[in-house]
Structure 1
Amino acid sequence: MRRVRLHTLRDRLTVLAVLVAAIAIGVLTVTFNLLLAGSLDHDARSRLRTAAAAASTTVSVRDGRVGVADAPNDSVLDGKVWVFQGARLVERASGDPELQRSAAALAGQAGVFDDLPNDRQIRLYAAPVRAGGRQVGTIVVALSLAAYDRTTDLAGVASVALAAILILAVLLLTRVTIGRAFAPVLEMTRAAAEWSENEPERRFGSELRPDELGDLARTFDALLDRVAAGLRHEQRLSAELSHELRTPLSRIVAEVELLQRRDRPLDERQQAYTSIARSAEQMSAILETLMAAARAEAGLDRGRCSLPAALAELRATWAPVLLERGVRLQVAPPRTAQAHVGVDAEVVARIVAPVLDNAGRFARTRVTITTVDRDGGVAIVVDDDGPGVGGDDPERAFEPGVQLADDNGHRGSGLGLPLARRLARAAHGDVRVEDGPGDGARFVIELPR
């Protein structure tokens, strides 16, 4: 036999409600029938006692003999009544021999009820006839229980039918009620699933709902916020990868194309191979840096590094690049107190590199890097002698996709500075624009110790 499985909460709640209702209705049905049977039994006994009392009014005792008054028009004894003195029958009612024997068996008894066997549906009652303080005779009366049994049977069938109807009604009502109660939940679930794929910015908002649905809506909104944040993170990561990997990848492609176009001297080929290897290492470092940033955003260990060593590496990497643009890079060595920062060296490089790239594109002749103590941390200050950050709102330089340009048409990619700020903030630092000593731009990179 296959086991029925309830797959939905709606089905389980419906079955539970019906089971509870069925148990309660069953208990009430049994209790009702027991009370009805007891009430009918009490009524039958009362009628027999009343009939015996009525019959006793026609019975008299004279000189020790029990007699029945002559009352031909009296209907009292027209029923099934027997009068005995001892075992002697004084008054006999009509009836079959079995009934007569059962009545005779009660002679001499007092206050005794007896139901005839074999489904006769007749009950007998023996009442005493007393004289001088002792029992001198017995009155036996009979009552048909057919009407009582029919009432009991009819009530039993009706109560069972009513119980079945009630259980069915509970089933239907529970099914409909739970279905209506869960309809908003199912609708919200479908909407959340659809929005998470197609419209991640939509929310259920603060629409008036019952408390439980309000809590569910807030939970779904929080879930959708996380989904949207994850999508934004993926999009941002894709853009950052494209931005950061474009330069070393372009360098590799250019070197390979030059190697394929013409024969080059051995020393030039060696330089090309070295440039390709360095670009590949830079790409690997970029990927590791983005992973380090992800770890920092997740609250993992940010590591530590020597700030002089990190700045020296930056100078070795960027000084030739800026020099090709006609810009000289000057790096002031940090003081001893600023020797270490609480950030990985690669993360420091990825934070400072976009700032240097931006300064190198806008500077006229010089970019300088200095370090100062600030608010319990270290600030790396990058100054250039260019036209400064254009526009009324310098903070727009940190918005992804915003490309600021000076009067000469220098344009950025729109992703380097936002990445630098995000990496710095992930490491509990920051990148900000401040007023410099001249007309050029000043970017301040704050890092924790």
Structure 2
Amino acid sequence: MGTIVASVGLDAYRYTARSVLAGSIGLCVLLLTGVYLVARAVVGRACRPVGEMSTRAAQWSEHGTAHRFGTDGHLTELANLAGNVFHELRTPLARITAETDWLTARPRNVVDRRTSHEAIAAAAAQMQRICEALLSEARTRTDPVPGRCSVGDVARTLAERSSQEQPEALLVTVVGDGATAGVSAALLERIFTPLLDNARRFAVRRIAVECEWQPGKVLLAVVDDGCGVPEGVGEAVFEAGRRAHPGDGHDGAGLGLPLARRLARTAGGDITLAPSLEGARFVVSLPAG
């Protein structure tokens, strides 16, 4: 006996294949849905504090300004500080923008590129000094423990640094020693730097720093033999945006001296313009250490 297979029905196999495919698709959909739900729950729980902080910040920005900063003049002080930051940072930012546009306008040679890079680096360093000065003021306001430093040592350090940075500039002579101020060395540097920059800008033959101790305070005088402060300006040189010599080619915004005085007064001292037979004489008074 023998069996001859004339045809084979594949319906059962096709049904099984379709069932397996449908089951696989359904399993994938369920798996993806589960993964999505779990991931959404985990991410939502992780981002919930951020959302709460954003909502609270938005509410405080709209309604809680007085609660955060008080109503006794702090808002005016913050507005003035923001204005000072804007005006002082505007010049270096404009310099960086101009140099960048000049570089990208057309191909430049190696010397031109190096000059632009140096100008951009100098503007960025100026911005950094401005921000550090404002941060120093904020830290001085909130830090209940004053620092201590030798006025003569800080003055000599800055004088040596300026001589290294600008070898062609006049040497700075430091007179006096032994005076200890009740501020940190970093804060004294930021108070002293604008005064030294002004002296280097206008001095003809001599720049001197005179250190003196008096009961309860120390005095630091920066003296130069330049053109001095015009009679019509006087104490107005400490006003934000006011420059004694607008046509001197200096690209500052007239905020170096106001910021220095602000830092000195925050530390319990002051900066005054003292009478001088020639040039300018700025005197920094600080509490003794």
TM range (shorter): 0.5 to 0.7
Name the CA shift for 1:284/1:410 in 2 (closer, same or farther; >3 Å): closer
1:125-274 correspondence to structure 2 within 5 Å: 227=71, 229-260=73-104, 261-265=106-110, 269=113, 273=117
Tell me what 2:191 maps to: 351
d(CA) in 2 for partners of 1:270 and 1:394? 40
Name the CA shift for 1:226/1:434 in 2 (closer, same or farther; >3 Å): farther
Q: 1:442 aligns with which of 278, 281, 286?
A: 281
8 Å CA contact 2:155, 2:209 repeated in 1: no
Q: Displacement of 1:445 after TM fit?
A: 1.6
| Structure 2 residue matching 1:369: 3-state secondary structure | strand
Q: Any unmatched runs of 5+ in structure 1?
A: 1-196, 201-222
d(CA) in 2 for partners of 1:233 and 1:396? 19
Q: Which amino acid aligns with 1:428?
A: G
8 Å CA contact 1:314, 1:353 repeated in 2: no
| Structure 1 residue matching 2:271: 3-state secondary structure | strand
Q: 2:230 aligns with which of 390, 393, 397?
A: 390
User: What percent identity do the matched residue pairs reach?
Assistant: 37
| Structure 2 residue matching 1:381: 3-state secondary structure | strand
Tell me what 2:161 maps to: 316
Q: Any unmatched runs of 5+ in structure 2?
A: 1-64
Q: Which amino acid aligns with 1:441?
A: A
8 Å CA contact 1:315, 1:329 repeated in 2: no
Q: Which amino acid aligns with 1:354?
A: P
Name the CA shift for 1:232/1:321 in 2 (closer, same or farther; >3 Å): farther
d(CA) in 2 for partners of 1:374 and 1:355? 19
Name the CA shift for 1:230/1:311 in 2 (closer, same or farther; >3 Å): farther
> By percentage of residues, which structure has more strand?
1
Q: Displacement of 1:359 after TM fit?
A: 3.8
8 Å CA contact 2:91, 2:253 repeated in 1: no
Q: 1:331 aligns with which of 172, 181, 195?
A: 172
Larger Rg over CA atoms: 1
Q: Displacement of 1:279 after TM fit?
A: 4.2
Q: Displacement of 1:290 after TM fit?
A: 0.9
Q: Deviations over 1:263-304 (max 9, x none)?
A: 332x76567546544543443343232122112133533434
Q: TM-score, normalised by structure 2?
A: 0.58
8 Å CA contact 2:200, 2:207 repeated in 1: no
Q: Displacement of 1:442 after TM fit?
A: 0.7
d(CA) in 1 for partners of 2:175 and 2:245? 32
Tell me what 2:26 maps to: none
Q: Which amino acid aligns with 1:418?
A: P
Q: Displacement of 1:243 after TM fit?
A: 4.0
Q: TM-score, normalised by structure 1?
A: 0.40
Tell me what 1:138 maps to: none
d(CA) in 2 for partners of 1:232 and 1:370? 35
Tell me what 1:289 maps to: 133
| Structure 2 residue matching 1:422: 3-state secondary structure | helix
8 Å CA contact 2:181, 2:218 repeated in 1: yes
Q: Displacement of 1:360 after TM fit?
A: 4.6
d(CA) in 2 for partners of 1:343 and 1:293? 12
Q: Displacement of 1:430 after TM fit?
A: 1.3
1:76-91 correspondence to structure 2 within 5 Å: none
d(CA) in 1 for partners of 2:171 and 2:200? 12
Tell me what 1:342 maps to: 182
Instruction: Tell me the C-alpha RMSD between the 2 structures.
Output: 4.0
d(CA) in 1 for partners of 2:99 and 2:233? 40
Q: Does 1:381 align with 2:221?
A: yes
Tell me what 2:260 maps to: 420
Q: Which amino acid aligns with 1:444?
A: V
d(CA) in 2 for partners of 1:284 and 1:303? 22
d(CA) in 2 for partners of 1:409 and 1:355? 16
Q: Deviations over 1:162-189 (max 9, x none)?
A: xxxxxxxxxxxxxxxxxxxxxxxxxxxx
